[in-house]
C-alpha cells in the first residue's frame, strides 16, 4: 500500500517534470525565431537548460538539421512524450495494482 503510494507520487512528479521541460524546450525554440537579447537572464537560463539536450540530439542524429532548419527540439519533445506515455504510465499502472 505504501509502496504503491510512493510509486504513484514518483510517477506524478516525473510526469510534471517532463511536461515542464517540454514547455521549456518549446519556449526556447520559439524564442530562437525572434532573436532575443542574449544578455537577458531568462533567455540565458532557457538556453542553459535546453542546449545540452539539443546538442546531444544533434550529435546522435545529425540529420535533424536539414537545410538550416533545426528539428532537434521536435525530436527531443517526441522522445520525452514517448517516455512519458510509456515509462510513466507503467509506473502508474504498477501503483494501482
Query: What pLDDT was estimated at residue 27?
Result: 95
Long-range contacts of residues 46-52, Cβ cutoff 8 Å, at least 24 apart: 49/21, 49/24, 50/24, 50/25
Number of structural domains found in the chain: 1
Average pLDDT of adjacent 10-residue blocks, the chain of 97 residues = 86 95 96 88 94 96 91 97 93 83
Three-state DSSP state, 37: coil
Q: What is the pLDDT of residue 1?
A: 76
pLDDT of residue 32: 87
Q: Give residue 81's pLDDT.
A: 97
Inter-CA distances, 91 with 5, 9, 44, 63, 96, Å: 11, 10, 34, 33, 9
Range of the domain at 14: 1-96
Q: How far apart, in Å, are the Cα atoms of 37 and each of 40, 55, 74?
A: 6, 21, 23
Amino acid at each position: 500500500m505504501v509502496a504503491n503510494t510512493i510509486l504513484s507520487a514518483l510517477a506524478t512528479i516525473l510526469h510534471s517534470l517532463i511536461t515542464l521541460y517540454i514547455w521549456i524546450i518549446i519556449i526556447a525554440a520559439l524564442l530562437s525565431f525572434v532573436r532575443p537579447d542574449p544578455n537577458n537572464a531568462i533567455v540565458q537560463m532557457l538556453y542553459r537548460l535546453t542546449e545540452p539536450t539539443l546538442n546531444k540530439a544533434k550529435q546522435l542524429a545529425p540529420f535533424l538539421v536539414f537545410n538550416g532548419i533545426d528539428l532537434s527540439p521536435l525530436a527531443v519533445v517526441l522522445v520525452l512524450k514517448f517516455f512519458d506515455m510509456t515509462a510513466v504510465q507503467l509506473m502508474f499502472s504498477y501503483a494501482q495494482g
